[in-house]
Structure 1
Amino acid sequence: MLALPGVILLIIFIYGRPQEWDERFAALPFLYLWLGLAFMGMGLDLALGKVKLKATPQLRWAIFVYLWCVFTLGVRNPAEFSEGFVSVSVTFVLFFLIGHSGEGFAAFRKLATTVLIMGLFVAGVAVHQGFSPFQCLAMTETIAGSRGEAGIPDGRSCERRIDCRESPGADPDAEYLCERVGLFKTTTINGRVRWRGVLQDPNELALTSGIVLPFSFALFEQKRSFTRALLVLGSLLVIATAIILTQSRGGQLVFATVLGVYFVKKYGIRGAIFGAIFAAPLMLLGGREGGEAEESANERTEILAEGLNIWRMFPLMGAGFRQFTEHHWLTAHNAYLLSLAELGPLGMFMWTAMIYLTLKISLTALKRYEHGAQFAMIRAWSMAVLSGFCGMMVGIFFLSFTYHYVLWIYFGLAGALYGAIKGVDPNFSVRLEKRDVLRLVGVDVGLVLALTLYTKAKGY
């Protein structure tokens, strides 16, 4: 399949961010190059009859979300239309290419393995960063104004921020941070490890690395070799260590959810015990505590209340795509609330319909192919996608992931899994039925009501 190389390179680019750690790559339009390569390959695949384009269950709703985002942005803030249109278009196209570019389990396995490798890559860089020495980082106006604090390492070691100002070689006009410096010019933030680009936030790094873990389990299920057993063990150690070093409480919950769903669903009570054993060290060692943790929790509660207020200001259409920060200085830190505040109830329903169908693909497959050795591959990958996405659902409750590339990559992976199963069993079908609509409306209403009651109970 000729589309796969372009799609795989696109995934690597989204995670790897080469243009941000090597100036030689900055001038090259990698994003559009790989998008063009993927679309050209898809066109050739269709023309040569190598692939038959099958609509994934989420495609209709993804189109609705995309058009609604464009519409609300055009109405609420036409001045930002051009930038916002490009952003949401790339997000949608990423989902479409991953979900529709391949056919069969061979193609799906390549996509899932790529996501696993890139998740392990960013986790591995984070682990190296977390054990690297502290250095002085000279802040610049350009860098300091970007998302998250960063700086340029000047090679001087430090233990505290004040050391950077008082030790020889300090620039009296510069502001300094004292942080660990890792590979690819990465640095910690307040001692917490992170990656670059869309994963500059330690919490987002923790989520992204934690949800790839089940793919190593699926590869082992397919071929129980010593090498793949080492892959599973190595993945567990690297990802768990990275999450500990992020000090992310949300990352802890993601890791525990992934292991819990996978092992409980697969092995019952024995799986619960096994998963608890693996998750216990991380739950004990990771996460922030004390005043910093309490301050963070209070800040997030305040943002939740503010998000509900923004929705009340714009009860039908929402504030518009990417307009939350026009009304509050911080973003929502909750993907579900962000969809409501920016897109209104209709937009929230369309977006959560994608989440619902992503879950339904795996759950339907696990139920339909519960027995039979010939369906072992379907069960293995369905279980991996399900447990990883459950971790995603927990993690995005604390992050503004509504339009995040990583979330939409997983929408695409679930769609690719659907296409692969469809190739084995043409009668396999997943769609949003009337009872699903009622359930989803109930869940959305219940979530908004729960957030409202919670924030009122906290005095907001």
Structure 2
Amino acid sequence: MLALPGVILLIIFIYGRPQEWDERFESLPFLYLWLGLAFMGMGLDLAMGKVRLKATPQLRWAIVVYLWCVFTLMVRNPAAFSGGFVSISVTFVLFFLIGHSADGFAGFRKLAATVLIMGLFVAGVSVHQGFSSWQCLAMTETIGGARGEAGIPDGRPCERRIDCYEQAGANPDAEYLCERVGLFKTSTINGRVRWRGVLQDPNELALTASIVLPFSFALFEQKRSFTRAVLVLVSLLVIATAVILTQSRGGQLVFATVLGVYFVKKYGIRGALFGALVAMPLMLLGGRAGGEADESASERTEILSEGLNIYRMFPLMGAGFRQFTEHHWLTAHNAYLLALAELGPLGMFAWTAMIYLTLKISLTALKRYEHGAQFAAIRAWSMAVLAGFCGMMVGIFFLSFTYHYVLWIYFGLAGSLYCSIKGVDPSFSVRLERRDVLRLVLGNVGLVTAIAVYTKSKGY
């Protein structure tokens, strides 16, 4: 499978963001290099007959979402077409390569292990960051010319922001923050840990770290060794600590959902009790409270109301891909509503169809291969993908994740799982049936109605 090295390097690049913490990497086109390597490898695999390309269940709907994003952007804001086209194209290609590059469980395990390692990497860096010292950050131009994403630490210790202005060595023309400084030129934001790039939001970091946890469980189920048991314990400890340090209430819900779905589905009431026991310390220690939390909740409710207003302005096509912030100063902070507001009912249906089919792949596999030792790998990985994606579904209700790389990576992983199962059992099939379409339509209408009722009850 010659495509896998390029795809794995692409995943590492998406999570790791080396060009943002080392100037030597800034000018290197890693994204296009790894994309080219992956496509070249896929072409060679197909030419040599090493793999047979199988269409994942989400592929046709991913194509609809992709084309609809391009079309709506071209209609609504042609001036932004170039940048938006590249963005959604990379997102789609990322899904396609991950979903269709692995032929069999050996390749799928390598992809899942890469996502697990990178999730633990960003969580581990965040834990170190959360216990590091406070330093003054000068909010000047950072790598890539972006002002103020992370800032530049000047080595001066601080306890309050005012210390950075009053201590010797302050630049009178600089704006300063007092934050914890971690590895790879990372820093906290208002004391909350984060990573870089697409994961610079603490809430997105908490989600991304939490949903990789079931992959460590699946590896242990495949081979119950001491090393893999340690991996499970380390994963639990590092991820839980990272979520606590993000102070993300949404991250708490994602972590609890992942554990709840995994252990309840697998072990019933005993699993529920164990999952609750593991999640309890995080629920008690993590999350913001008080006035800051109330202000955040009020702001998000206002944004939900504005999202509905934007949809009412563009009821057929939506406002267009990446156009929400053209009508409101903040993005939606709800992936489902963002899909409706920007892409309209058709785009939202196609996007939620991808979510539905991602869930259906795991659920169908768990039901079909419930018994038999020869299907243990299918059950283990189906359960891991299901638990992680259920956590994703909860988390993106509070985040603008509609086109986020991490979400589409998981679409790809579920597709890769499907193709791996298909290689073992060619009769395995998952598709969107008529009853599924009805459920999706009713679910989408019910969700939008619930949001409308909620915002109205809050006076918006």
Q: SS at 2:311's partner residue?
A: helix
After superposition, the C-alpha distances for 1:194-234 in whole angstroms (9 at most, x for unaligned) are 00000000000000000000000000000000000000000
Looking at structure 1, the residues matched to 107 and 147 of structure 2 have their Cα atoms a distance apart, in angstroms, of 35
Q: Which amino acid in 1 is paired with 2:265?
A: K
Q: Which moved more, 1:173-182 or 1:143-152?
A: 143-152
Structure 1 segments of 4 or more deviating over 4 A?
Answer: 141-149
CA contact (8 A) 1:8 1:114 kept: yes
**What secondary structure sits across from 1:401 in the alignment?**
coil
How do 1:94-173 residues align onto structure 2 when only pairs under 5 Å count? Answer: 94-140=94-140, 146=146, 149-173=149-173
Q: 5+ residue gaps in structure 1?
A: none
Structure 2 unaligned spans of 5+: none
Residue 224 of structure 2 is matched in structure 1 by 224
Task: Find out whether 1:284 has 2:284 as its counterpart.
Answer: yes
Q: Which residue number corresponds to residue 77 of structure 2?
A: 77
- The 8 Å contact of residues 148 and 201 in structure 1, kept in 2 or not, is answered as no
137-146 vs 294-303, which deviates more?
137-146
The question of 1:242 aligning with 2:203 is answered no
Partners of 1:147 and 1:262 lie apart in 2 by 41
Asked if 1 retains the 8 angstrom alpha-carbon contact of 2:20 and 2:144, the reply is: no
Bigger drift between 163-172 and 124-133 goes to: 163-172
Question: Aligned pair 1:434/2:459, yes or no?
Answer: no
Distance 1:147 1:420 in 2: 44
**Which residue number in structure 2 is paired with residue 331 of structure 1?**
331
Matching of residue 260 in structure 1 with residue 260 in structure 2: yes
Does structure 2 conserve the Cα–Cα contact (< 8 Å) formed by 1:209 and 1:239? yes
Q: Matched residues in 2 for 1:175 and 1:71: separation? A: 41
Identity value in percent:
88
**Cα offset for 1:175?**
1.2
Q: 1:42 is matched with which residue?
A: 42
Find the counterpart in structure 1 of residue 384 from structure 2.
384
Q: How many residues align?
A: 460
**Counterparts in 2 of 1:7 and 1:62: CA distance versus 1, 3 Å:** same
**Match in the other structure for 2:9:** 9
> For the Cα contact (< 8 Å) 1:144–1:150, is it kept in 2?
no
Assess, with a 3 A threshold, how the Cα gap between structure 1 residues 249 and 130 changes in structure 2: closer, same or farther: same
Deviation per CA, 1:241-297: give whole Å up to 9, x if none.
Answer: 000000000000000000000000000000000000000000000000000000000
Q: Distance in 1 between matches of 2:393 and 2:89?
A: 23
SS in 2 for 1:9: helix
Question: Aligned equivalents of 2:68 and 2:277: distance in 1?
Answer: 45
Kindly indicate whether the alpha-carbon contact (under 8 Å) linking 1:98 and 1:413 is maintained by their aligned counterparts in 2: yes
Which residue of structure 1 aligns with residue 191 of structure 2?
A: 191
Deviations 1:345-379 (CA, angstroms, capped at 9, x unpaired): 11000000000000000000000000111100000
Deviations 1:54-88 (A, max 9, x none): 00000000000000000000000000001000000
Shift of 1:150: 2.6
Equivalent position amino acid for 2:447 in 1: L
Q: Can you list the C-alpha shifts for 1:383-419, whole angstroms capped at 9, x where unaligned?
A: 0000000000000000000000000000000000000
Give the AA of the match of 1:426. Answer: P
How far apart in 2 are the matches of 1:410 and 1:239? 18
Aligned residue number for residue 401 of structure 1: 401
Give the residue type in structure 1 aligned to 2:69. C
8 Å contact 2:332–2:399 — kept in the other structure?
Answer: yes
- The Cα shift of 1:147 comes to 8.3
TM-score normalised by the chain length of structure 2 = 0.99
Superposed CA RMSD in Å reads 1.1
CA contact (8 A) 2:23 2:143 kept: no
Task: Report SS of the residue matched to 2:288.
Answer: coil
Instruction: Give a deviation string over 1:403-449, Cα, whole Å, max 9, x none.
Output: 00000000000000000000110000000000000000000000000
- Cα distance in structure 1, aligned partners of 2:171 and 2:104: 59
The SS at the match of 1:156 is strand
Structure 1 distance, partners of 2:173, 2:353, is: 53
Residues 34-57 of structure 1, C-alpha deviations (whole Å, 9 max, x = no match)? 000000000000000000000000
**Equivalent in the alignment of 2:310:** 310
Distance 2:144 2:306 in 1: 26
Q: Write the distance in 2 (CA, Å) between the matches of 1:197 and 1:101.
A: 26
Asked if 1:26 is matched to 2:9, the reply is no
Please give the alpha-carbon distance, in whole angstroms, between the structure 2 residues aligned to 1:144 and 1:92: 24
Encode CA deviations 1:319-356: one digit per residue, 9 max, x unaligned. 00000000000000000000000000110000000000
User: Cα distance, 1:148 vs. partner?
Assistant: 6.7
Query: CA separation in 2, counterparts of 1:363 and 1:280?
Result: 27
Tell me the distance in 2 between the aligned counterparts of 1:439 and 1:53: 30
SS at match of 1:268: helix
- Matched letter for residue 235 of structure 1: S
For residue 172 of structure 1, report the CA deviation from its aligned partner: 1.7
What amino acid is aligned across from residue 126 of structure 1 in structure 2? S
Q: Tell me what 1:298 maps to.
A: 298
- 1:144 CA drift (Å): 12
* Structure 1 letter corresponding to 2:228: R
* Cα distance, 1:147–1:86 mapped onto 2, change above 3 Å: farther
CA contact (8 A) 2:26 2:143 kept: no
Whole-Å separation in 2 of the counterparts to 1:90 and 1:145: 22
Could you say which residue in structure 2 is the equivalent of 1:58? 58
The reply on whether 1:233 has 2:238 as its aligned counterpart is no
8 A contact 1:148–1:200 mirrored in 2 = no
Q: Distance in 1 between matches of 2:345 and 2:59?
A: 20
Q: 1:133 to 1:142 in 2, by over 3 A?
A: closer
Structure 2 distance, partners of 1:197, 1:407, is 15
2:349 corresponds to 1:349: yes
Distance in 2 (CA, whole Å) between partners of 1:288 and 1:42 is 46
How many Å separate the matches in 2 of 1:352 and 1:247?
A: 29
For residues 278 and 44 of structure 1, the distance between their equivalents in structure 2, rounded to whole angstroms, comes to: 46
**Does 2:372 match 1:372?**
yes
> Match of 1:111, as an amino acid?
L
Contact in 1 for aligned 2:141/2:151 (Cα 8 Å): no
The answer to whether the 8 Å contact 1:243/1:251 transfers is yes
TM-superposed CA distance for 1:139, in Å, is 1.3
Q: Does 1:443 align with 2:443?
A: yes
